[in-house]
Chains A and B, each alone.
Chain A
């Protein structure tokens, strides 16, 4: 096992631990926790046995498995960033509406 693989495994195990903590804190629901645990478990397995995705790598004409992993990681990160952006916009809009409604309700004329 190379150093890079070892680091990937340790990172994956750490992320599994983070998911577990957030499940216990009830930040993540059971289904969310299951999804993220499976994702990081798969990450650990692929880090230990990269040859498992050799077939996909060959099918997509990637020279190395590492390239396939990088491309997938970028796709996942972009998707997460995009959804975070949408959620952030939605939250901003909700906060603005709430603050405005509160200001309008409590509006008063000073003497």
Chain B
């Protein structure tokens, strides 16, 4: 395990999966930060049972804000050189953490890209591809599987990207900022672990996303 490389897990009401996720992650990586984003269930109690660094938002701010808090802690207080984001809802395989951190040695940004299987609904796959195509046409770079929460950033990339989204749009903003600043990135292919608790996006979310993308395009 490389020194000063941390896994950041944002968690909001994830008591159902968190124990399983932390057990799996700690098998492969011991430097873990959990950011509880104002959970009202047993998320904090479960997190405290594991040897991890725990940060608590007293109210729910959103995934983007939770990731930012984790990054601020990792880069400023723990003097981390790079971090990998890992969703708390058991959608990723922790054995790929090593590959993600290896890739971060050569690229400032690493995207964990899922191989779409029959488990994922077709509409979700199409929306996923459309997001990548929109980024390609708007910012000139094709970034695969933008909604994937499994991605890694170096400290330099974190400072350059400097996302403002406090909610679920953070994944989209990170991708657009990477394309906008022409940051070099690598891709690590990961398997799809899809389950019915996956919340997905509504039509209103998509409209909100398109509006935000227009603003990001104007406001560099």
- Say how far B7's CB is from chain A's closest CB, in angstroms: 14
A102 near B: Cβ within 8 Å?
A: yes
Per-residue CB contact flags for chain B residues 20-60 toward chain A (1 = under 8 Å, else 0) read: 00000000000000010000000000011111111111110
A96 with B54: CB separation less than 8 A:
no
Which of chain B's residues have a CB closer than 8 A to the CB of A110? Answer: 47-54
A70 within 8 A of B: no
Q: Max chain B CB contacts within 10 Å: which of A92, A102, A103, A104? A: A103
> Which of B47, B68, B69 has its CB near the most chain A CB atoms (within 10 A)?
B69
Instruction: Output the least CB separation between B17 and chain A (Å).
Output: 18
Interface residues of B in 58-98 (CB under 8 A from A): 58-59, 61, 65, 68-69, 72-73, 76-77
0 or 1 for each of A42-59: is its CB under 8 Å from B? (1 = yes) = 000000000000000000
The residues of B that contact A99 with a CB separation of less than 8 Å are 57-59, 61, 65
List residues of chain B with CB within 8 A of the CB of A92. Answer: 166
Q: Given the known inter-chain contacts A96-B65, A99-B59, please indicate yes or no for A107 contacting B166, CB distance below 8 A.
A: no
Looking at A92, A95, A99, A108, the one whose CB has the most chain B CB atoms below 10 A away is A99
Given A92-B166, A96-B65, A96-B166, CB of A107 within 8 Å of CB of B54: yes
Q: How large is the interface on A (under 10, 10 to 19, 20 to 34, 35 or more residues)?
A: 10 to 19
Q: How far is the CA of A102 from the CA of B58 in the complex (A)?
A: 8
Question: Complex formed: what's the CA distance from A76 to B48 in Å?
Answer: 52
Given that A92-B166, A107-B77 are known contacts, is A100 also in contact with B54, CB under 8 Å in the complex?
A: no
Q: Does A111 belong to the interface (CB within 8 Å)?
A: yes
Cα separation A76 to B115 with both chains bound (whole Å): 52
Question: A25 interface residue, CB < 8 Å from B?
Answer: no
Question: In chain B, what residue has the closest Cβ to A89?
Answer: B164
**How far is it, in angstroms, between the C-alpha of A92 and the C-alpha of B167 when the chains are bound?**
12
Which A residues from 81 to 111 make CB contacts under 8 A with B?
92, 95-96, 99-100, 102-104, 106-111
Please report the C-alpha to C-alpha distance between residue A49 and residue B103 in the assembled complex, in whole angstroms: 75
| Residues of B with C-beta under 8 A to A104 | 55, 69, 72-73, 76-77
Most chain A CB within 10 A, of B50, B55, B59, B72, is at B55
Give A82 Cβ to nearest chain B Cβ, in Å: 15
In chain B, what residue has the closest Cβ to A99?
B57
User: Is the CB–CB distance between A108 and B61 below 8 Å?
Assistant: no
* B53 touching A103, Cβ below 8 Å: no
Closest B residue, CB atoms, query A111: B51
Q: How far is the CB of A98 from chain B (nearest CB, A)?
A: 9
Shortest distance between the CB of B167 and any CB in chain A (Å):
11
Q: Which residues of chain B have a CB within 8 Å of any CB of chain A? A: 35, 47-59, 61, 65, 68-69, 72-73, 76-77, 166
A positions within 8 Å CB-CB of B: 92, 95-96, 99-100, 102-104, 106-111
- Beyond known contacts A99-B65, A104-B72, A108-B54: 4 more, CB 8 A cutoff: A100-B57, A103-B35, A109-B51, A110-B50
